Amino acid sequence: MRLDYPTIMRPEPYAFAAMVLIIAVGCSTSRTVQYDSIEVVHAETEIAAVALLDVGILLFDPGVPEDQEDAADFVFPDVRRAEARFMPYHLKKTLEGTGLWGSVWVLPERSDAVDLVVWGRVDRSDGLEVELRIGAWDATGREWLNETYKSRVPEKAYSKYRDLTQDPYQNIYNDIANDLLAAREKLSEKKLGTIRQVAELRFAADLVPSAFGNHLEEDDGKYTIRRLPAEDDPMLARMRAVREREYAFVDTLNEYYAGLYYEMSLPYEDWRKMSREETISYQELKRSARMRQLLGLAAILGAVAYEGSGGSNSAITNTAILGGIEGIRSGFGKSSEAKLHGESLKELGSSFEAETEPLLIEVEGQTRRLTGTAEEKYQEWRRLLREIFASETGLPAPADPLLDQPQAASD
């Protein structure tokens, strides 16, 4: 008896190439990204005074090594350093606009004069994608936030017809503001009151440790109150007066950051808009280059398979191979074009640097003229505060860690 076994069909060589083509096209199909708008929560009723915490937003970490001067992986150090000053100020404006907080300041370094400190790092920012690492801790050492925030920016975010008070990255700022509010709402009024008391005592202990150093207990970064000073303590009244001077100085410092913010706004938005376009072009060209190379390879593989299966038409084989080689060559050409767009991004970063050079201001202290950068002015101001308090109370000024650092021995 004869058994007929099913014939195993060998795939046609061009069917193989077509299959590769279908897979390649399927992999390259772009998806429409849905852009969600995050609304920030605003105060709708009167907020209890104890909940109106004072917030200090530290200048952000630009996310680049200090010694990096040239662009690497499309990260432009000068742009990032400018963003590290722009972003905290816009977050300040966002928080202030909610009506849910007390005073909000941008600070060049941590201060014990505020109830809540917010820290940030720029991990990505190219006009299309933005990624920030945000942390927040209150004066007791309790962690409120330690999160990464990401957003993909739509083209309409750069429209001149939009609400110009809304930054193209506004979703990120609104998300942070909402999370800070959610963290605060988990705390009772008693805990919020304790935060404010600890902040005041930490400022006092930093200013004059001999008088206030034993009012707090610190354990692994967590602060608890041992005892409170008497409300009629004249030392406490003097400390509060000095703290008000600290607030006044920080207000002046924020005028500097405001000037930098508004001067940067237009060139920074233009840079992000162009950078977004260049980033998209770069990504599309890289994708196109990979597609052309893949299709060229598919054509060559199809020709080889055709000849290996017994195909005798050398013209078909040669045409497929030549076409495949041309596809691969075209793909490399697209890669070179993508590199040109990368260079364009670098040029944009260089032009932005020229428009965002830091400003220098003069700030009059109580007894001296403060000069230098905003950060240097703030450090000098803290020294001055200690001297003022010491002169008013007759107590010795606390040691300044910046001045007490060991000096290198000279030859």
The DSSP annotation for 352-391 comes to HHHH-PPP---EE-SSSEE-S-HHHHHHHHHHHHHHHHHH
Mind listing the pLDDT tens digit for each residue in 189-246? 999 999 999 999 999 998 888 888 899 999 999 999 999 998 888 888 888 888 888 8
Q: What is the CA radius of gyration of the chain?
A: 31
Mind listing the pLDDT tens digit for each residue in 358-408? 444 444 444 456 666 667 777 777 777 777 777 766 666 665 544 444 433
The DSSP annotation for 236-255 comes to HHHHHHHHHHHHHHHHHHHH
The DSSP annotation for 251-318 comes to HHHHHHHHHHHHHHHHHHHHHHHHHHHHHHHHHHHHHHHHHHHHHHHHHHHHHHHHHHTT---HHHHH
Give me the mean pLDDT over the 340-356 stretch: 51
In this predicted structure, what is the pLDDT of residue 350?
55
In this predicted structure, what is the pLDDT of residue 147?
97
Nearest of 175, 214, 164, 180 to residue 56 by alpha carbon: 180
Contact 185, 174 (CB under 8 A): no
Residue 152, H or E segment = strand 143-152
In this predicted structure, what is the pLDDT of residue 7?
43
Label residues 167-185 b or e (16+ Cβ within 10 Å = b). Answer: bbbbbbbbbbbebbbebbe
Q: How far apart are CA 129 and CA 387, in angstroms?
A: 47
Is the CA virtual torsion 21, 23, 25, 27 positive or negative?
negative
Q: How far apart are CA 322 and CA 228, in angstroms?
A: 86
For residue 369, what are the β-bridge partners? 364
Tokens of 112: 């014990």
Mean pLDDT (the chain, rounded): 75
In this predicted structure, what is the pLDDT of residue 306?
44
In this predicted structure, what is the pLDDT of residue 328?
44
Q: Which residue has the higher pLDDT, 100 or 317?
A: 100
Q: What is the pTM of this model?
A: 0.72
Mind listing the pLDDT tens digit for each residue in 245-296? 889 889 988 988 888 888 888 888 888 888 777 777 776 666 655 555 455 4
DSSP-derived pairing of the beta strands 55-58 and 104-107 = parallel
Give me the mean pLDDT over the 137-143 stretch: 97
Residue 137, H or E segment = strand 129-138
Residue 323, H or E segment = helix 314-355
Q: How many residues does the chain have?
A: 411
In this predicted structure, what is the pLDDT of residue 349?
52
Residue 4 has pLDDT above 70, yes or no: no
Q: Nearest 5°: phi and psi at 57?
A: -100, 115
Identity of residue 132: L
Nearest of 87, 98, 170 to residue 134 by alpha carbon: 87
For residue 136, what are the β-bridge partners? 118, 145
DSSP 406: P
Q: Which residue has the higher pLDDT, 274 or 71?
A: 274
For residue 148, what are the β-bridge partners? 133
Q: How far apart are CA 293 and CA 326, in angstroms?
A: 9
Confidence label for 410 from pLDDT (cuts 50, 70 and 90): very low
Identity of residue 85: R
DSSP 319: H
Query: Half-sphere exposure (CA, 13 Å, Cβ side) for 316?
Result: 14
In this predicted structure, what is the pLDDT of residue 377?
72
DSSP 38: P
Nearest of 77, 129, 150, 130 to residue 279 by alpha carbon: 129
